[in-house]
Amino acid sequence: MQSLLQPQFDESDVEFHTHVDPPTLEITADGEQVEQVLLNLLRNVRQAATGKPGARVELNSYLSRGKVILEIADNGPGIVEEALDKVSIPFFTTKQDGSGIGLSLCRQIMRAHRGSISVRAEPEVRTVFTLRF
């Protein structure tokens, strides 16, 4: 993901960091579908963080209680509390040019992998999307 998206992050002046612990961490999943989820989330958070001084996006993955966890976090404007429960509803969007399909598709892909996706946000501080496999 980092090598694929780094040029877009560089153009946006948003720092992009990844961390995998342990470095040999693997999941059994449809690689193309999981890539689609990560691409959608990382593009969303990059767009959200763009323009903020010190903008930063992180992709962290680790094991927790036998499950693989991937966290995509940014320090952009965040998601207001009223919208948190709606972001994965088809056609709901907070973007002027958004379709509202991306997060709904992410949720469907995660369910197909017997996983989950959740989001927590503190506006203007940090937003974290968590994928549990």
At 21-56, the pLDDT tens digits run: 999 999 999 999 999 999 999 998 998 899 899 999
Measured from the Cβ of residue 34, the count of other Cβ atoms closer than 10 Å reads: 19
Measured from the Cβ of residue 99, the count of other Cβ atoms closer than 10 Å reads: 10
Which of 3.30.540.10, 3.40.1390.10, 1.10.1670.10, 3.30.565.10 would CATH assign to domain 2-132? 3.30.565.10
Interval 6-35 mean pLDDT: 94
Tokens coding 58: 């992180």
**Residue 91: pLDDT over 80:** no
Tokens coding 38: 């990560």
Higher pLDDT among residues 114 and 94, named by residue = 114
pLDDT value of position 123: 83
Apex 128 CA angle, 29 and 55, nearest 5: 115
Q: Give 73's strand partners.
A: 58, 128
Rounded CA-CA distance 60/79 in Å is: 20
pLDDT value of position 14: 95
**Residue 8: pLDDT over 80:** yes
CA-based torsion, 73, 84, 5, 49: positive or negative: negative
Q: What are the residue ranges spanned by the domains of the chain? A: 2-132
pLDDT value of position 1: 85
**Residue 101: pLDDT over 70:** no
- Orientation angle between helical segments 31-49 and 102-112, nearest 10 degrees: 150
Q: What is the bridge-based pairing of β-strands 15-21 and 56-64? A: parallel
